[in-house]
Structure 1
Amino acid sequence: MASAEKRGSTWRARYNKPDGSVGSESGFPTKKTALGWGREQEAAIRAGRWVDPDLRATTFGEFTKSFMTSRRKRGRTVGTRWEKLDSHILPRWQDTALGSITWYEVDAWQQSLTIADVSRGHCVSLMSTIMTAAVDAQHITVNPLFGRRRTRDTAGDAAVPKAPKVSRDPRPEDALLLAERLGPARGIHVLTTAFTGLRWGEGLGLHRDRALLERRQPWGDAEFVCPVLRVVEEYAEYQERDPDGTKNGYLLQLEPTKNDGSTRDIDVPRFLARLLRHHLDDWPHERPFSTTSGKPWRRGNWSRDFRPACDGRDERAKRQGVSYRAEWEPILPGLDMRALRALHDTLQAQIGVKEPLAFEAAGHRRPGIKRHYQRPTPDMRAERLAGLEEVFWKAMANVGLRTMWGRVDLRKPDR
C-alpha cells in the first residue's frame, strides 16, 4: 500500500515494488501529491506497465554497452555500429538518461552532424534500435524515436548536388581496359565483378570448388545447362572490439553471407567462364581472387595496384634499386569495385533482365509478395547470358581488343 512521509519541507512517496521491496521518490510538495504518485506506481505494477525509475535513469551509454554485448551480429555489422557510436552518437548521448531522451533533441542533433545525410539516417536508426531494446528491457515505456521522420536540412547549400565520387558512370569498356592493365591474376577479378555483380567480400570468399559448377534445369523438352559461381560465404574486414567497445585491431575473416538472398548461384556468361577456366588452371591457390601468396586481399593492399590503374600514374625512371615504371593514362578516376558491381546491375536493366532473375543475380532480396510467386526460368537465364555476351563483345570491339592479356584467343572454340 502506498504511503507518504515528511522529509524536511517536502514529502516522500513510498510504494511496494514487484519484487516485494519498497521503492521511494522524494521531493513532493504535499502529502496528497506524494500519495497520488505512489498509488500510480502500484496501479502500473498491477497493470504490467510499470517501469522502475532507477532503470529509467540508466544512461544511454550504459545501456548501449549492454545492448552491444547481448545483440551479437556479423563481425562487420558490429564494427560499423561501433564506428557510428564512437564517432557520432556517444559523444552527445553517452551521459543522457534513457528517460530524458526526446525526439525533438535527437532530430535537432542529427541535423547538426557534418556527415552525409544517409549517414545521419543510419545514426538515428541505430539509436532507435537501441531505444526499442530499452523498452523491451523495461527501462522505458516507449521509444520516442520510433516511426518519426527526420527533418532534412534544406537551407544554404544543402540542396546542392554533391560531387560524384566517379566523374561519370562506368562502362563495360572501362572494365575491359582496367582488367587488361592489371593483368590476368587481378584483371579476372575485375571482369567477374563487372559481369556477375559479386560483392567485394564475396569475391574474396569464393572457393575454387564452388567456381564454375553447373546449373541444370529442365527447359522445354531438353535441359538448360550453364556454369555458375556458388556464393555461400564472404570475407569481412573490420575492427575487432571487446564487449565494452575497446578496440583490438583489425580482423579479416570468413563469415556467412549477409542474408538469405546473398547465398546464391550466379550464372556465368560463356566468355567469362572460358577466362575463369584458364585462370583456375594456372592459379595454385584455393581462392581464385586472392593475392599471389593465396591470402585474401586487404583493401589497402588491393588499392595500391587498383587505384593507379584507374586514376593513372606518372612515369618513373629506372635508378639504382628502383625498376622502371611506365606512365599510365587515367581510365576512370574514382572507379572502385562497388561501382563495377553496380555496372553489372545497370547492364541487367539495359538488356532487359526480368525482375526475379535480376534480384537473384545481384544478391538482393526482392521486396513484396511477388518473390514468393515468381521464379527465374531457363528462358530468362538464357536471355541474360546472351545479353551479357553481346555487351562484352561489343565493348571488346570498341576498345580494339581481340584477346585478353595476350594469352587467350577468345574466339577459339570452347573446350
Structure 2
Amino acid sequence: MAYAEKRISQAKGSKGKVSWRSRYKKPDGTWGSEPGFPTKKTAEQWGDEQEAAIRAGRWIDPDKMRTPFGVFVRKWMAAQSPRGRTTMNRWERLDTHILPKWEHTPLIAINWFDVDAWARTLKCADSTVKDCIGLMSLILTGAVDAQHLTVNPLFGRRRASKAADNVGDQQVRTTEVGWAPPEAVLQVAERLGPANGLHLITAAFLGPRWGEGIALHRDNTLLTRREPYDGGTFECPIIRINQEVAEYIRRGPDGSRQGAVHQLEPVKNRWSVRDIDVPPFLAQLLRLHLDDWPHPFVFCTPSGKWWWRNGWWELLRPAADGRKARPRARGRAVKEAWEPIWPGLTMRMSRHTADTYQAQIGVHPVLAHEQAGHRYPGIKGTYQHPTPEMRQQRLAGLQMIFERAMRNLGWRTLWGRVDLQKRSPGS
C-alpha cells in the first residue's frame, strides 16, 4: 500500500520547508517514489492512484513520461525502417524545425496549445509546418505504444487558421503558377537537346517522379499494353515504372550523417508501380532516342551515370531562366545569350504540368490517378477501373496538346530530327 514520507529541505534559502514524497510499489516489486507534494494526503492519494493503475494494467512509469523528447526521437527513429529518402526528410524536419524547440522538453510536458502556438512562429511553407506537426504526432503515438505516455496530445488535432493567414495564402495561390504551357516545355526542351529535352517532355506529358524518370530502363520503355476492346484488341505503347533512383543522406540511429546514397530502390508504394500510356508523338521520339542511345537507362548522363539533382538543376536553370552571353576563353566554349522562357520550371512542376494537362482534356479521374501513381480514394477506387476508351481519349488529348503547341510555335521538328506534324495527303 502506498504511503508518504516527510521531507525537510536543507537547501540554502529554503531551510525548514516541508514537502512530502509518495512511495508506491512498482510492478517488479520495488518501491517507486515521487517527491514534491505539499501535503501527506496528496502524496498518499497519488501513490494509491499509481498502484490502482498498476493493478488495472494501465500504469505508465513517471520516469519514462519525463524522457526528453529528443532522447525518445532518436530511439523512435532507430526503430523505423522507411525508404531512405523518407528518413532523410524526417531528419531534415527534426534538425531544422522541431528539435531546436522541443529537444529537451519532457514528453509529458508537450501539449497541443504550445505546439499550435509554436507552429504559428515557423517561417516556412505551410506544407512544411503540417509535415512537422504530423511527424511530432507520429513520434508521440510511438511514445504511447512504447508506454512512455498514456495518450498522444496531438492526435486528431487541426490547426486553427487566422483570417490574415488565409488572405496571405490566397495571394500566394493567385500569383504562383505551378505548371508550364506546352509551348514553354517544348522551347526549353529544344535548348536542352535531344536526350535531356526528351526527359523534360516525358516528365511534362507523362508525369513520372524525378527518381522514377532517371531510373527508367530501356527494357521498360515502349512495351505494349493489350486489352480486349470492341470485338478486337486495344494496343498502345507504355513505359513501365517499377523502380526509382533514390538520392539522400544516410543517417545513423542518432541522426549523424553517414554519406550520400545514390542507388536504385523500389518505388514509394504499390500504386506507384504502373504502366503509363504513351501518346504517338512521344512514342516516336522515344523510339528515335533509343535507336542511338548507347546506355541501359533512358534518361541518364552522356556517360551513362544517373543524374544527381544538383547536376540536372545546373542544366535546367539556364535553359528555362535564360543566361547571359559568354565569350570564348581558354578552356571555355562560347555561349550565346538565352532569353528567359519559363523561369522557375522544375521537374516537380513538370509532374504537376502532366496532371494539369490530364485535367484540361477531361481524363477520367480513375485513369488520371492510375497514370500519376496515386491511389484513387474512396469506394470508387475499388469499383471503378480504366477502360480502353478512356485510354484512347487521354492519348488523343495529349497528342492534340502537342500538335497545337507545335503549330503555335511554327515548328515542324524538334532538334531537327524528324517531322512530327501530320502531313496532308499528297504533300
Give TM class, smaller chain: over 0.9
Q: Which residue of 2 aligns with 1:337?
A: 347
How many angstroms does 1:321 deviate by? 2.9
Contact 1:166 1:335 in 2 (8 A): no
Q: Tell me: CA distance 1:240–1:147, structure 2 relative to 1, closer, same or farther (3 Å).
A: same
How many angstroms does 1:318 deviate by? 1.9
Match of 2:359 among 345, 349, 354: 349
Q: Which residue of 1 aligns with 2:252?
A: 242
Q: Tell me: CA distance 1:56–1:6, structure 2 relative to 1, closer, same or farther (3 Å).
A: same
Q: Which residue of 2 aligns with 1:7?
A: 7
Contact 1:135 1:141 in 2 (8 A): yes
Q: Tell me: CA distance 1:390–1:59, structure 2 relative to 1, closer, same or farther (3 Å).
A: same
What is the rounded CA distance, in whole Å, between the counterparts of 1:68 and 1:214 in structure 2? 43
How many angstroms does 1:319 deviate by? 3.0
Contact 1:166 1:332 in 2 (8 A): no
Amino acid at match of 2:384: Q
SS in 1 for 2:6: strand
Q: Which residue of 1 aligns with 2:212?
A: 202
1:82 aligns with 2:91: yes
Match of 1:298 among 281, 299, 308: 308
Count of aligned pairs: 413
Amino acid at match of 2:7: R
Q: Which shows bigger deviation, 363-372 or 169-178? A: 169-178
Q: Which residue of 2 aligns with 1:115?
A: 124
Q: Tell me: CA distance 1:153–1:239, structure 2 relative to 1, closer, same or farther (3 Å).
A: farther
Contact 1:204 1:234 in 2 (8 A): yes
Match of 1:380 among 374, 390, 397: 390
1:229 aligns with 2:239: yes
Q: Tell me: CA distance 1:159–1:319, structure 2 relative to 1, closer, same or farther (3 Å).
A: closer
How many angstroms does 1:68 deviate by? 0.5
Match of 2:190 among 156, 180, 192: 180
How many angstroms does 1:164 deviate by? 7.9
Amino acid at match of 1:29: P
What is the rounded CA distance, in whole Å, between the counterparts of 1:74 and 1:86 in structure 2? 19
Q: Which residue of 2 aligns with 1:262?
A: 272
How many angstroms does 1:203 deviate by? 0.1
SS in 2 for 1:217: strand
Q: Which runs of 5+ in 2 are unaligned?
A: 9-17
Deviations, residues 256-287 of structure 1 (Å, cap 9, x unaligned):
11111111000001111111011111111111
What is the rounded CA distance, in whole Å, between the counterparts of 2:126 and 2:312 in structure 1? 29
How many angstroms does 1:320 deviate by? 3.2
What is the rounded CA distance, in whole Å, between the counterparts of 1:238 and 1:262 in structure 2? 19
1:389 aligns with 2:394: no
Normalised by the size of structure 1, how large is the TM-score? 0.95
Normalised by the size of structure 2, how large is the TM-score? 0.93
What is the rounded CA distance, in whole Å, between the counterparts of 2:204 and 2:360 in structure 1? 14
Match of 2:223 among 207, 213, 222: 213
Amino acid at match of 1:210: N
Deviations, residues 213-267 of structure 1 (Å, cap 9, x unaligned):
1111111210111111110111121111111001123222222111111110000
Q: Let me know the Cα RMSD of the aligned residues.
A: 1.8
Contact 1:207 1:286 in 2 (8 A): yes
Q: Which residue of 1 aligns with 2:149?
A: 140
Q: Which residue of 1 aligns with 2:333?
A: 323
How many angstroms does 1:192 deviate by? 0.7
